[in-house]
Amino acid sequence: MDTNHRQVYRQELSPVSFLERAGEVYHDRIAVEDGEVSYTWKEFRARARKFASALRLNGLKKDDRVAFLAFNSEPPLLAHFAVPMAGGVLVPINTRLSPQEVAYIVEQSGSSIIFYHEELKDKLAGVSSEIQKIEVGQALEGFLDQGSDDELESWLVDEYDLISINYTSGTTGRPKGVMFHHRGAYLNALGMVVEHQLRTESRYLWTLPMFHCNGWTFPWALAAAGARSICIPKIDPPETWQLFDQGVTHFCAAPTVLIMLTNDSTAHRLQSPVRLFTAGAPPSPTLIEKMQALNFTLDHVYGLTETYGPFTMNIPPENEAALSQPEQAKLKARQGFINVCGGKVDVVDEQLRSVPMDGKTMGEVVMQGNNVMKGYFDDPEATAAAFQGGVFHSGDIAVKHSDGSIELRDRKKDIIISGGENISTVEVEQAIMSYSAVMECAVVAVPHEKWGEVPKAFVTLKPGQSSSAEEIIQYCRSQLAAFKAPRSVEFCELPKTSTGKIQKYVLREKEWQGKEKRIN
């Protein structure tokens, strides 16, 4: 076939095309609200073009990395289009990292320029003076003024070219740079439009950090749908509830954020339903029931940074309406099925054989498809280990049910082996979360002289509630086999990541301090 013909029937997939279309189709609709400032899709597209043009005028070459250290706001949302439009690779940085971690990511990624919020300036202390630094605000606006709002010639050669590098949390060592490509970002964004049921009239609240897996690809998904972004830099529960009342229709958040919202004094049942995606840790059936009672339509999704965020989604059975609320909540706690634009997901044993669909046999979750990362940036050894056997190894332990849905049991490192018995910390946590006085909890293995290791629970009680360790232990014994119940309970505030995930490794490190191995 003549290569000229190929130009007729093929276009390299890139989510930048969503903005070009939105600037035409939704030109007079509001694209983003950021405090007192708002832009229509036509204005937002013009700003992205000017940003991209200015980057090129300032020397950006194809595949140069551009770092962004910013709270949820219009500028980082803009960067998700402007940087790849210019031919660069976006490097979003977690705003809660230390100066040393920020410096490492800037250096390891080879970023030549970093944009930052003034409040985060101190986090640039370790960044080389050779790196260009531009403050988000008037300096950024001056930078944009250098550019043109004319459509730019695309430098995209291959849809597998990098669009972004997202760094993992680094809980097991130095953070790794997860490489996203244009094709994966395009397809996952379309998957989010379908699965989250986004429409042109949708109003999406940015509670999920944009630096986390590119906001689960929602910056691009919202452009595809022509939906509105509502930006807030940090989650303030009273303000968030007020925004729900003012017309927010969609948002995403980790279970710990939902716990914070539902336990706030301003929490109330909403007049209009709000759809939400939750992931980051398996939500307990208790939390799911509570969200439903407050008129939230909760969709449980599952994925990793390495899978562009949500890779599977809990899809309810046909007879859901006939089930009791507790039964519905229990089913919704499963991680479910592959999303509409995903590839393959399976639960396998150590020989990569599918485990039986019995809801009991545990194995590792593995993935394949367009929405799996290209690999770890400049780390071929880690990439080879993650892709061993031709699949991506998630490190998550799950079971498969008779309907084909998957349900997480734990991370590999979180499974507790006590006296030869496997204990799922998720199962124990869900039992504890059903206790009325408990707001949130985490369970980890701690050393034990006789059994090797046993479960210990770290618990935060609801405001105004009281309980004892013995009461919680006895309650768990009424819900679980005795050997699964925690042997001890510590009341404390739980350590968390910026996206609300509980940092179990911090708890584990404290308990195993002084031990040569983390297995007893």
The domain spans of the chain are 13-182, 235-411, 415-511
Residues in the chain, overall count: 520
pLDDT at 433: 93
Dump pLDDT digits (tens) for 399-432: 999 999 999 887 777 778 786 677 888 889 989 9
Domains 13-182 and 415-511 share a fold: no
Q: What is the DSSP string of 380-424?
A: HHHHHHHTGGGSEEEEEEEEE-TTS-EEEEEEGGG-EEETTEEE-
Give CA–CA dist 156/134, Å, rounded: 26
How many other C-beta atoms are found inside a 10 Å radius of the C-beta of residue 442? Answer: 26
Give CA–CA dist 502/347, Å, rounded: 24
| Dihedral over Cα of 21, 24, 26, 28: its sign | positive
How many other C-beta atoms are found inside a 10 Å radius of the C-beta of residue 32? Answer: 24
Q: Which pTM was predicted?
A: 0.85
Q: Which residues of the chain have pLDDT under 50?
A: 171-172, 517-520
Q: Tokens standing for 335? A: 């991680």
pLDDT at 172: 46
Helix (H) or strand (E) holding 437, with range, is none
**Closest listed residue to residue 69, CA positions, set 30, 103, 21:** 103
User: What pairs with residue 490 in β-bridges?
Assistant: 458
**Closest listed residue to residue 415, CA positions, set 424, 427, 428:** 424
The domain defined by 415-511 carries CATH number 3.30.300.30: yes
pLDDT at 171: 44
Residue owning tokens 């089930």: 323
pLDDT at 330: 85
pLDDT at 453: 87
The domain defined by 13-182 carries CATH number 3.40.50.12780: yes
Burial status of residue 493 (CB atoms within 10 A of its CB: 0-12, 13-18, 19 or more): exposed
pLDDT at 5: 75
Give CA–CA dist 178/38, Å, rounded: 32
Tell me the C-alpha to C-alpha distance, in Å, between residue 334 and each of 439, 488, 508. 21, 28, 25
Q: What is the CATH number of domain 235-411?
A: 3.40.50.12780
pLDDT at 517: 47
User: Which phi-psi region, left, alpha or beta, contains residue 381 (left: φ > 0; alpha: ψ -120 to 50)?
Assistant: alpha
Dump pLDDT digits (tens) for 145-203: 999 999 999 999 999 999 999 998 654 457 899 999 999 999 999 999 999 999 999 99
